Structures are given as C-alpha cells and as structure tokens.
C-alpha cells in the first residue's frame, strides 16, 4: 500500500497520548481504548472500500483524532477514506457499549440532545414537506431519541425509527415519539410488517456502519417505489471553509467513523443496492451551509435499470482530487490561512464571542 502521509503530525511517532484539548473526563476512556488496541484486546480485520472497484488505496494517516493507532487509507478510485484494518464486530460492539459516548464527551442532557435532533428535523422538513403527500411515512435509521421524527409527526406524517440505544428510544417515548424500536432495520420491519416509507433518513449514521451496502439493501425493503433515502455524513471536502474543523483533517479521523465518504463513494455503494444518487433540494443545502461543521447530503432514488446496469460510470480521478485537496488544505492550515480559521477567529469578535471570553476568565 502506497504511503502518502498528509503531514508528520499524522504519524504515531508524533502523538502517543490523547491531545490535551480533550477534557479530563474523556482522557481515561481514551487511554483504555488505546491499551485495548495496542495489546490485542481489540482485534482488527482488513477492510475494503465499499465502492466495489477493488482499486488500490493510499495510506494518509497513522493516528486518529484521539491519537489512537489507526491507519486511514484513501481509495484511489472514489476518494473515500476508511480505516484499514478496522475493529472486528465484537471489538466494535464493546467499544460502542462501554466507551464511545464517554470518549466522545457527549452530554447526558437528553433534552439538549433531543433539541439538536429537532433542529436537523426542521431543516429536513423545510426541504421535503412540500414534496411528500399528507400522512405518508417517514422513517429514520439511527433515530436516537426521535427528535427529528417528532418534527415530521407534528406536521401530520406517520413516523417510525430504529436505534441500538434502548435508553434513547425510551427517552423519545417519554417525549411523545411513537413507532420507534430498539435494533436495526430488521427489528423495525418486525414491528411494522407492512412498512413502506416515502422518506428514509440516515443522519450521521452512514459513516459509522460496518457494511454500507448491506444497510442500503435493508433500506430498499422498506422504501416505497417512489420513496427516497436521504443521507448526511461529515464532508471532508469542505473542511477548509467551516469553523469546525477549520481545515484540520485529523478532527474528522474519528475511531467511530469507519468511513469518510465522497459523493462518488456513496453513489457507487448506492448503485450496487439499486439506487441512483441525485442532488438534494437546494433549500436543504443552503440551510446546512450555515452550520458550524460541513455536511455532505446525498439523496437516493430507485434507479431505472430498464436500459442496463445502474452502476455509475464514474470514479475517475476522485481519489487524486481528494488527495490534492487534503494536501493543499493541510498546508493552508499549518499557516493559519484556511477560511474556517479566519471565521473561527472572527467569531470571537462578535458580542456572543466576547461574552464567552469574559465568562471563561
């Protein structure tokens, strides 16, 4: 495998402990996961790019954002970044069950989490409500506490969702969200045997899944013929323009994110499951452009295969283009010249920024 480490700071020799920017409460969990990785308590297995091309890969980093010894590679065909090797299923389940939330530093404030979900639900509702017939069904895979579903339900749509967190599903039920189930798409089908969704949401889920193609094939069984799947993932191709990560690729290399997709990468996976990718509504893209961190939104519709294969004739140059972008962004980041870095500094000059500085003293 070719070595094209983005910069010296992406090597294991540079960083042997978690960066100091992580809070004290996070550090013990990061250290424990590091020990499990280095002693073999967590087992690794080789991975392949889900684009299905069997193209070669380029090694671009040897650590993740926490300083953990994980190798990131970039597919020369579609440009998608993945960890290779990556945790096997048993190790990954243990990580999510025991360390993920605490290591991530996620707040235990369920009301705040529910409100954040409602916020992206509102963006999706603004973008898609007009094109959905009244009382049709909206499903979310990885629905958390169901905040986004609550927004659609309030507008008269039928809703359903699934998530592996029983605590979050219970929390959503306490807040009036119905139709949710603990588990995966199969568990959702068991609860709703005749489910046919007009809109299926995967909001910051696709980067986590072990097998993206398997997930889309499962979704195909619950999507109505005219239905759509809407996917949101972190957008590595815009890291230079947003306040977070302000050009720092390392922030997006996260142990829990097996993949950092390109649009071509998602399109290639979707084609294998019988879907074609289309541009989401412009309104959704405009609303997302106002966020702190960049998101890649992709809409999938059932492909027309009447004239042959749905596989897209793409993946030419996507890998080289992304590698060039990442190298250029790293150079700008080192000089403090990324647009996102300027925006980060400017936000401290706003009244809200001044107030935050005063409170921190």
User: What domains does the chain contain, in order, with CATH numbers?
Assistant: 2-106+327-356 (no CATH), 110-302 (3.40.50.150)
User: At which residue do the structure tokens 């647009």 appear?
Assistant: 339
Helix axes 212-220 and 263-272, enclosed angle (nearest 10): 50
* CA angle, 288 then 183 then 169, to 5°: 65
Q: Are 242 and 292 in contact (CB under 8 A)?
A: yes
Q: Is the dihedral of CA 170, 172, 175, 176 positive or negative?
A: negative
pTM of this prediction exceeds 0.95: no
Residue 1: predicted pLDDT: 61
Q: Are 256 and 208 in contact (CB under 8 A)?
A: yes
Hey, which residues does 296 pair with through a beta bridge? 233
Distances, alpha carbon 254 to alpha carbons 58, 99, 137, 349, in Å: 18, 13, 33, 30
- Tens of pLDDT along the chain (361 residues) come to 678 999 999 998 755 566 778 889 999 999 999 999 999 999 999 999 999 998 999 999 999 999 999 999 999 999 999 999 999 999 999 999 999 989 988 778 999 999 999 999 999 999 999 999 999 999 999 999 999 999 999 999 999 999 999 999 999 999 999 999 999 999 999 999 999 999 999 999 999 999 999 999 999 999 999 999 999 999 999 999 999 999 999 999 999 999 999 999 999 999 999 999 999 999 999 999 999 999 999 999 999 866 555 555 455 678 999 999 999 999 999 999 999 999 999 988 777 665 554 444 4
Label residue 204 left, alpha or beta by phi (over 0 means left) and psi (-120 to 50 means alpha): left
Q: How many other CB atoms are there within 10 angstroms of residue 253's CB atom?
A: 24
- Helix H segments across 223-281? 263-272
Q: How many other CB atoms are there within 10 angstroms of residue 1's CB atom?
A: 10
């Amino acid at each position: 495998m070719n070595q094209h480490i983005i910069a010296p700071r992406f090597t294991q020799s540079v960083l042997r402990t978690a960066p100091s920017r992580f809070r004290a409460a996070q550090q013990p969990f990061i250290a424990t996961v590091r020990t499990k990785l280095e002693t073999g308590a967590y087992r690794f297995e080789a991975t392949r790019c889900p684009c299905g091309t069997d193209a070669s890969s380029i090694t671009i980093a040897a650590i993740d954002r926490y300083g953990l010894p994980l190798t990131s590679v970039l597919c020369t065909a579609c440009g998608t970044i993945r960890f290779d090797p990556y945790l096997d299923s048993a190790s990954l389940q243990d990580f999510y069950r025991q360390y993920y939330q605490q290591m991530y530093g996620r707040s235990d404030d369920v009301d705040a989490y529910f409100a954040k979900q409602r916020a992206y639900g509102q963006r999706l509702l603004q973008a898609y409500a007009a094109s959905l017939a009244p009382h049709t069904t909206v499903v979310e895979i990885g629905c958390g506490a169901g905040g986004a579903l609550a927004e659609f339900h309030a507008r008269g749509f039928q809703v359903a969702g699934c998530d592996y967190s029983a605590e979050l599903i219970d929390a959503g039920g306490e807040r009036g969200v119905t139709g949710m189930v603990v588990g995966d798409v199969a568990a959702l089908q068991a609860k709703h045997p005749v489910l046919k969704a007009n809109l299926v949401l995967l909001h910051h889920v696709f980067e986590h899944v072990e097998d993206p193609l398997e997930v889309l094939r499962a979704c195909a069984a619950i999507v109505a013929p005219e239905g759509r799947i809407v996917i949101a993932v972190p957008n590595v191709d815009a890291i230079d323009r947003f306040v977070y990560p302000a050009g720092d690729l390392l922030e997006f290399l996260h142990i829990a994110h097996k993949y950092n997709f390109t649009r071509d990468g998602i399109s290639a996976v979707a084609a294998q499951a019988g879907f074609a990718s289309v541009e989401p509504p412009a309104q959704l893209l405009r609303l997302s452009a106002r966020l702190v961190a960049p998101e890649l939104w992709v809409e999938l519709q059932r492909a027309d295969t009447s004239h042959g294969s749905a596989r897209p004739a793409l993946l030419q140059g996507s890998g080289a283009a992304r590698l060039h972008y990442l190298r250029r962004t790293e150079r700008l980041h080192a000089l403090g010249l990324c647009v996102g870095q300027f925006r980060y500094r400017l936000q401290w000059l706003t009244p809200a920024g001044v107030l935050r500085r005063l409170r921190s003293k």
